[in-house]
Structure formats: C-alpha cells, structure tokens
Amino acid sequence: MRNIINSIEDKDVLSFLEYLKYERRLSVNTIDSYGENLLLVSKYLNKDLINATRDDIKNFFDNFDGDVKTKAHYLTVLNSFYKYLLFMGKCSINPCDGIKHPKLSKKLPEYLTGEEINKLFDIRLTKPIDYRNKAMLEVLYATGTRISELINLELNQIDFDECIIRVTGKGKKDRIIPIGDTAMDALKNYILNYRIFLVKTNDNNYVFLNKNGSKISRQGFFKILKGLAFDAGIKKDISPHTIRHSFATNLLNNGADLRIIQELLGHENLQTTEIYSHLTNKKIEDDYQNHPHANN
C-alpha cells in the first residue's frame, strides 16, 4: 500500500487529499484511488485541474474508453474535488456540471443460503488454524463485520461477559455489535486453546493470526475462504463480503428492521442498506414462480 499524498505536486489536489484524510478520515486506499484518478485526468488535459473548463472535462469523458463503472467513479471523484474547491473559494464553477452520471445496473449482492452456510462451516478441526478459520467464519456471519474490521480485531475489543465486540469501521467510527452464543463459543475456544500455538510475541494483541504469528491479511483469509468453499462444494464465487451479505439477508428475512441492520453493518446511509430489501423482494418473486398457479 502506498501513500500517494507524498508524491503530489499540484497544491490543490494535495489540499483535497489531505481534507479526505484528516476531515473525512477516508482510508489510504481510497485516498490513493482518488489521487491517481485526479492525476490521470490532469495528465490527459495537460493542465492543472483548477484551470480545467467544462469543455475540457466533457472532452475527457467523451473520449473515455473504460467501462461504465470506472467512468462513473471518475465523475464522482472529479465532482467531489470541484465541490471542495468551490467550498474553499478557489473556483467559481464546477466544470462537471451538466455531465450526466452514467447509469449503473444495480447488481444484487450474492449471499449464501442456510444450507450453504452449514456446508461452509462444517470444517474438519484438526489444527490450530482450523479453529481460527472456524472462529473467523462464525464471527463474520454472526456480526456482519467487514473483513478489514475482523482482521484488525484486538483482544481488548471483545467483551465475553456481555457477548459483544467493538469494531472500528469506515471513517474510524466505532460501533458495538452483539455476538451470538455459537460464534462466541467458537471465538472463545480459539483464543483460549489454540491461539497460543500461533502467537510468537507477547505484545501481539490481534485476535486472528497467521502461521508466522502476524495479523492475518485480507488476501490470506480470502484465499482460505476460497479453499473452504471449494471443499464444501459451493459453486458461487464467494468472498468475505458474501458472508456479510448473508448476515444482512438472513436478518431481513427473519423480520429485522432495516435501520437496525444499518446500525449493525455500520452503513452511513440507509440507502446502502436498502439493497437487501430488493434482494429479499427478488427471493419472494423467485419463490412465487415455484407456486403451481404462479403462471396461470
């Protein structure tokens, strides 16, 4: 991971990225992505972005040869940049005004059925890493945490008596999530009986460790999850986020309020959470099509 702020020469772009870092508290990856996008547009236009006109920006998008999703991302980044400049009084117009945002087809999130969850979680427990994997899966499904929140979980963020975990999400915002008995039992069993075989130094407080005693990486767990899915005979292309989607979908299917799910997932806007209501509506439609009189 690199920090692009250190290589920015355009003072306006640098100021914007520092705003994203210190005021918006966005992740390094997000800031790098924004910075790289802005630098590419500036290079294409062969001028500083503060001097770009509407025709310049329109010309950039007219000749854009990326996919629709990438094009939409560039427009979002540029809009954010120019709105920041307007707010700071550094420009008088937003050259992105009048450029239509590309329409993105809403892809419903992939999730696992109860049967698939049971297959995935049916791990043969023989080694310490097996118990770690089991605990990670159980906690993911029981809490709906992001993978970044899970791998950064530390021992002092777990309250065994209250059966809750405290996680730090996007924008450095903390939230408290209840955790059920099954997941808590798997977590406690791993920490008390098997984590000791992975620890190399006493000052390592991360819960989930790899074979070298370091915090397990996103890529490391992604690879583990792919292997477990293959062993379980699951054909879907799953990721840790699939487990998060499964958590939310299961809650909604069992009558949970959408705002409660929003709080548990750490979504800033309810609109983000509403995708799951579309997903459950799709399931209702699919189930109805199986009714013998559905097509009469």
Range of the domain at 48: 3-88
Whether 50 and 142 map to the same domain: the answer is: no
Whether 127 and 264 map to the same domain: the answer is: yes
Has residue 97 been placed in a domain? Answer: no
**pLDDT band for position 268 (cuts 50, 70, 90):** low
Whether 130 and 21 map to the same domain: the answer is: no
Whether 149 and 202 map to the same domain: the answer is: yes
Whether 263 and 148 map to the same domain: the answer is: yes
The string of pLDDT tens digits covering residues 164-197 is 999 887 777 788 888 999 999 999 999 999 999 9
Whether 145 and 263 map to the same domain: the answer is: yes
Catalytic sites, residue numbers: 146, 170, 241, 244, 267, 276
Has residue 53 been placed in a domain? Answer: yes
AA letter at 282: K
- Count the neighbouring beta carbons within 10 Å of the beta carbon of residue 121: 17
pTM listed for this prediction? 0.61
Report how many domains make up the chain.
2
Whether 146 and 49 map to the same domain: the answer is: no
* Token representation of residue 14: 């640098």
Whether 132 and 256 map to the same domain: the answer is: yes
Q: How many whole angstroms separate alpha carbon 84 and alpha carbon 91?
A: 9
Has residue 13 been placed in a domain? Answer: yes
Q: Please check whether residue 44 is in contact with residue 74, taking contact to mean a CB–CB distance below 8 angstroms.
A: no
Tell me phi and psi for residue 209, to 5 degrees: -115, 155
- From the DSSP assignment, how many helices (H) and strands (E) are in the chain? 13, 3
Has residue 9 been placed in a domain? Answer: yes
Q: How many whole angstroms separate alpha carbon 99 and alpha carbon 62?
A: 10
**pLDDT band for position 85 (cuts 50, 70, 90):** very high
CATH number of the domain within which 190 lies: 1.10.443.10
Residue 292 has pLDDT above 50, yes or no: no
pLDDT of residue 281: 47
Has residue 249 been placed in a domain? Answer: yes
Whether 124 and 15 map to the same domain: the answer is: no
Has residue 294 been placed in a domain? Answer: no
